[in-house]
Structure 1
Amino acid sequence: MDDVEITGPRSGSSREPLELLRACPPKERADAARNREKVLGAAARLFAEKGVEGVSMDAIAAAAGVGKGTLFRRFGDKSGLAVALLDARERDLQQRILSGPPPLGPGAPASARLAAFVAAYLDYLFDHLDLVRMSETASPGARYRIGAYRFWHRHVAILLAEARPGGDADVLSHALLAALGAEAAGVLRAEHGRDRAIKGITDLVLALANPA
């Protein structure tokens, strides 16, 4: 397997302002925006009815009333659709991190904010596990090329730097986020249940944030 670069701009350098990494809605022509919403609505409906693996791109194009060529040019494949469907949910969580009430938002100690982030992120992940898994595993290293990963990495790195000065916050942030990957967290939930999975990952995070 090829090595995956997870440092530098793709992963969210410690020098990048967090606000600049926030996802923004795409700017497009009105007709393109309407087609996008038709496709995403059809995909969401079919995925909910038949599961992500049980739906083809052909079926999505037919349900949305668009040509297959248009669908593939716009989204590439089902993993591209998954990323687009998750976009609004990710932007909501990012906004709550930037300006929502503590402890998820500003104003709480770093360790409390880290724990709140883990809980909020795992709620998002477990509610959309199949879509997140598809977006993260479409190709080697796909997770690290998703724009939202840069935001999560930067946010966690900022809090880890505050919680444990002198540590390598950028590297530790990648290590912590590995436990929040869809594959790893999904296995924990399947074997131990949602509540126990969240508690175990939170305990790991707090151990990183509060070294002995």
Structure 2
Amino acid sequence: MDAVAARAGVGKGTVFRRFGSREGLMASLLDHRERVWQAGVISGPPPLGPGAPALDRLLAFGASRMRLHLEQAALIEAAGRTWGENHAVLGFATLHVRLLLTELGTPGDLDYLAGALIAPLNISVLRQQMGPSGMSEERVLAGWESLVRRVVGPPISPGGAAADRR
């Protein structure tokens, strides 16, 4: 907090009044980055943004979300519950994944499935997988993509046969 106050040219008390705590400051930094990321999901170029097939968008979403969380891991952990319980952030991600699952014609409880697909992208899960067990980022992402493909499953064509999702 001292370094932030000094860099901003204000007193430490000003920083505390604005953000309430160190966790609040970290959450504010994360909020800015989250908004930029969400803008990419909403209106950025494909495959993360509109214009790509739903499966490609879903896979790009997971890869992008995982990278974002890994890049911000220290901030996320420093923000603690202030960020970890941010319902707006989780709500955006859940709604986006749910909409893509709907577009893909995925059967089942889509609210639950969307939450289940987002959970492995949580920094605590990523840290557990990539920490002592030593999984690489590539392995974790490949596992997530495999999970997505299993949840989505092959689509059913009008004739009743499995069809290509792309």
The interval holding the TM-score normalised by the smaller chain is 0.7 to 0.9
Q: Which residue of 1 aligns with 2:18?
A: 74
Residue 202 of structure 1 pairs with residue 142 of structure 2: no
- State the distance in 2 between where 1:88 and 1:188 align: 27
* Aligned sequence identity (%): 41
Higher relative contact order (CA 8 A, sep 6+): 1
- State the distance in 2 between where 1:106 and 1:210 align: 22
Specify every segment of 5 or more residues in structure 2 that has no aligned partner in the other structure, as ranges: 156-166
Post-superposition shift, 1:158? 0.8
Q: 1:79 to 1:206 in 2, by over 3 A?
A: farther
Partner residue of 1:193 out of 118, 136, 147? 136
Please say if residues 106 and 152 of structure 2, whose CA atoms lie closer than 8 Å, have aligned partners that are also in contact: no
Q: Deviations over 1:33-58 (max 9, x none)?
A: xxxxxxxxxxxxxxxxxxxxxxxx34
Specify every segment of 5 or more residues in structure 1 that has no aligned partner in the other structure, as ranges: 1-56
TM norm structure 2: 0.78
Post-superposition shift, 1:200? 1.5
Q: Which residue of 1 aligns with 2:40?
A: 96
Q: Which residue of 1 aligns with 2:164?
A: none
Task: Kindly provide the amino acid, as one letter, of the partner of residue 11 in structure 2.
Answer: G
Task: Kindly provide the amino acid, as one letter, of the partner of residue 172 in structure 1.
Answer: L
Residue 171 of structure 1 pairs with residue 115 of structure 2: no
- State the distance in 1 between where 2:139 and 2:110 align: 26
Post-superposition shift, 1:201? 1.8
Post-superposition shift, 1:180? 0.8
Alignment root-mean-square deviation, CA: 2.3
Q: Which residue of 2 aligns with 1:116?
A: 60
Q: Which residue of 2 aligns with 1:156?
A: 97
Q: Deviations over 1:3-59 (max 9, x none)?
A: xxxxxxxxxxxxxxxxxxxxxxxxxxxxxxxxxxxxxxxxxxxxxxxxxxxxxx344
How many residues align? The count is 153
- State the distance in 1 between where 2:93 and 2:143 align: 19
SS at match of 1:192: coil
Please say if residues 103 and 113 of structure 1, whose CA atoms lie closer than 8 Å, have aligned partners that are also in contact: yes
